[in-house]
């Protein structure tokens, strides 16, 4: 079968005006909870899109680690491609692909660095091997082989054996302050339900239905 002929109906649900919440993060919390309860793979996985100085966008998958009405949090090596791009242009887009539930959430906003205290609190809560991996890997930099990467990991393991692992100064988090959040629910005949929240400093959040 040609991929051009691959198609199916989306019939798992509807999103109506009555289901919308005053604040979009409250609806996000509901949808995330339902994704977790449904045991879909990696419900906190999200695409993070950034743009470099030349205007070239790039994307990667990271895990959401916290959220509230002020924004969405993820962590990374501050020397990574995404962190360097955010240093030049803090505008960012997030995307949650909950396709097993025929749902998507798209978020646009600005990324702000977290404080050292916030970074340390989360870093010290991670499993020890994850802490060591942060020290061992210069994220996004070329490396000749996996064997060399594993050697660096073992060196860090030996260095911090029987010691507390400190927060690397090259590792930290970002909070994405949203200005726009769209909720997408698949619909029959490609007549999907799409609602967009937009934030205005004077009037707060407003909503509108978008055509599919």
Instruction: Give the residue numbers annotated as catalytic, written as ranges.
Output: 190
State how far the Cα of 198 lies from the Cα of 24, in Å rounded to an integer: 9
State how far the Cα of 31 lies from the Cα of 5, in Å rounded to an integer: 31
State how far the Cα of 192 lies from the Cα of 194, in Å rounded to an integer: 6
User: What is the chain's percent helix, strand, coil content, to nearest 5?
Assistant: 30, 35, 35
β-pairing, 71-77 vs 171-185, is antiparallel
CA atoms within 13 A on the CB side of 83: 19
State how far the Cα of 27 lies from the Cα of 183, in Å rounded to an integer: 9
Distance of CA 96 to the CA centre of its chain: 7
Burial label, 194 (beta-carbon count in 10 A; 0-12, 13-18, 19+): middle
């Amino acid at each position: 079968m040609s991929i051009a002929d691959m198609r199916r109906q989306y019939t798992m649900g509807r999103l109506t005006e009555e289901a919308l919440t005053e604040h979009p993060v409250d609806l996000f919390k509901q949808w995330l909870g339902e994704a977790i309860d449904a045991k879909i793979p990696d419900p906190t996985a999200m695409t993070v899109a950034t743009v470099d100085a030349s205007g070239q966008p790039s994307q990667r998958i990271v895990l959401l680690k916290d959220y509230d009405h002020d924004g969405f949090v993820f962590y990374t090596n501050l020397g990574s491609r995404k962190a360097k791009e955010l240093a030049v242009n803090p505008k960012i887009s997030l995307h949650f692909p909950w396709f097993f539930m025929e749902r998507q959430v798209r978020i646009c906003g600005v990324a702000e660095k977290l404080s050292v205290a916030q970074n340390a609190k989360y870093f010290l809560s991670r499993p020890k091997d994850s802490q060591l991996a942060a020290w061992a890997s210069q994220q996004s930099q070329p490396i000749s082989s996996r064997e060399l990467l594993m050697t660096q990991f073992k060196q860090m393991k030996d260095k911090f054996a029987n010691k507390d692992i400190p927060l690397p100064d090259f590792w930290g988090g970002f909070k994405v302050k949203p200005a726009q959040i769209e909720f997408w629910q698949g619909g029959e005949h490609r007549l999907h339900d799409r609602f967009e929240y937009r934030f205005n400093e004077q009037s707060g959040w407003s909503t509108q239905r978008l055509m599919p």
